[in-house]
Amino acid sequence: MANGDIVTLPITLPDFTRGQSVSKKVSQPFSKSSHQRYRVSDLKYPGEGNTPRTDFFEKHLTAIYWVCGTPVPYVFKTIDGATRSLDAGCLSFMLHQGNKIDLILDADGYIAAVRPLPKLLDTYTAIKEKLVGKLTGDSVEILDLPFDLNAPVDERRKQESELVVREGASAFRAAVLGAWSGKCAVSGSGVVEVIDAAHIYPYLGPKTNRVCNGVPLRADIHRLFDDFRISFRSDPRGFRVVLADDLKQSEYAQYEDRVLLRPPRVAERPAQKLVEFHLTKFKQRNGT
């Protein structure tokens, strides 16, 4: 893997010390030296087993996912310039426990990224602020949405919201465009007069005006996004554009699979579960 292909994550990683002095050499769950690539068939059962290293690995893998909001790349750089990779023994142990992680493979079948599943996330929910703080150096706000993603959208309220001036609309637009430096996340256009602050989860009053629920989109792309003909999918580099089949032979084909622009501040980036919500609706609409 070329250096240019390695994404830099907005974190620092503490060393695993097993209670010993940092100067004492200990095999790191996030390797600093060997970055050998693996296929799923290379991950032999039972892997390392339940050890302090695998406990450290589970917690910090989960925390990285919470900070970045996307699957954790197999190889990545931290903000201090260190290159790290995921330990095969730890991955093997977690994989064979079942329902803890999902492996994302590249075109050659090698592990490209790892997504923690709800079973693993739920294990550490009670201490996630502490875990995230260890990686970012401060106390980062953990997404706690004031609305239920699984609740059906009240059609009457939805229609009302489209007929009246939306509460907090100007402040929401200013916050979203400010986070993204006034550019459309898909096209890169910087003509602010034609860029909207699109809601990822439908607008249902001020409680949905969170920056993490917004993305700046050129007006035409916004309409297609609201109609679930354009959506986004997770990628180790952030999010990529997904198009409905009827757009793949249109002028919008140029955006297919494009990596979205994203704000430099993690807290201002789209929330993973909101993007997943929109992608689910996209798939339902398009029968994919």
- Sign for the CA dihedral angle at 161, 175, 277, 248 comes to positive
In Å, what is the CA distance from 135 to each residue of 15, 60, 91, 115, 132? Answer: 11, 8, 20, 18, 5
Boundaries of every domain in the chain: 3-136, 155-286
Say if residues 237 and 245 touch (Cβ distance below 8 Å): no
Q: How many CA atoms lie within 13 A of 12 on its CB side?
A: 8
The encoded tokens of residue 122 equal: 């739920």
Average model confidence (pLDDT) across the chain:
82
Q: Is the peptide bond before 29 cis (omega within 30 degrees of 0)?
A: no
Identify which has the larger pLDDT, 247 or 164: 247
In degrees to the nearest 10, what's the CA dihedral of 269, 274, 275, 276?
140
Tens digit of pLDDT for each residue in 21-43? 444 567 899 998 888 888 888 88
For the residues of the chain, what is the DSSP string, one character each? --GGGPPBPS---PPP-TTS-TTS----SEESS-----BGGG--TTTT-SSHHHHHHHHHHHHHHHHHSSPEESEEE-TTS-EEEE-HHHHHHHHHHSSSEEEEE-TTSBEEEEEE-HHHHHHTGGGHHHHHHHHHSS-PPPP--SS-TTSPP-HHHHHHHHHSPPTTHHHHHHHHHHHTTT--TTT----GGGEEEEESSPP-SGGG--GGGEEEEEHHHHHHHHTTSEEEEEETTEEEEEE-GGGTTSGGGGGTTPBPP--SSGGGSPPHHHHHHHHHHHHHHHT-
Q: Give per-residue pLDDT as tens, 49-85.
A: 678 889 999 999 999 888 777 788 999 988 778 899 9
Determine the pLDDT at residue 225.
96
| Region for residue 31 given its phi and psi (left: phi exceeds 0; alpha: psi -120 to 50; beta: otherwise) | beta
| Beta carbons of 64 and 72 less than 8 angstroms apart | yes
Q: Which of 93, 92, 98, 97 is nearest to 111 (CA)?
A: 92
Q: Inform me whether the pLDDT recorded for 208 exceeds 50.
A: yes
Of 95-109, 112-126, 187-201, 202-216, the one with minimum mean pLDDT is 202-216
List the structure tokens of 280.
């689910």
pLDDT digits (tens, 9 = 90+) for 77-130: 887 788 999 998 899 988 888 889 988 888 888 998 899 999 999 999 888 878
Share of the chain above pLDDT 70, in %: 82
Higher per-residue pLDDT: 162 or 125: 125
Residue range 220-258, pLDDT digits in tens? 999 999 999 999 998 877 899 999 999 999 999 999 999
Q: What is the pTM of this model?
A: 0.51
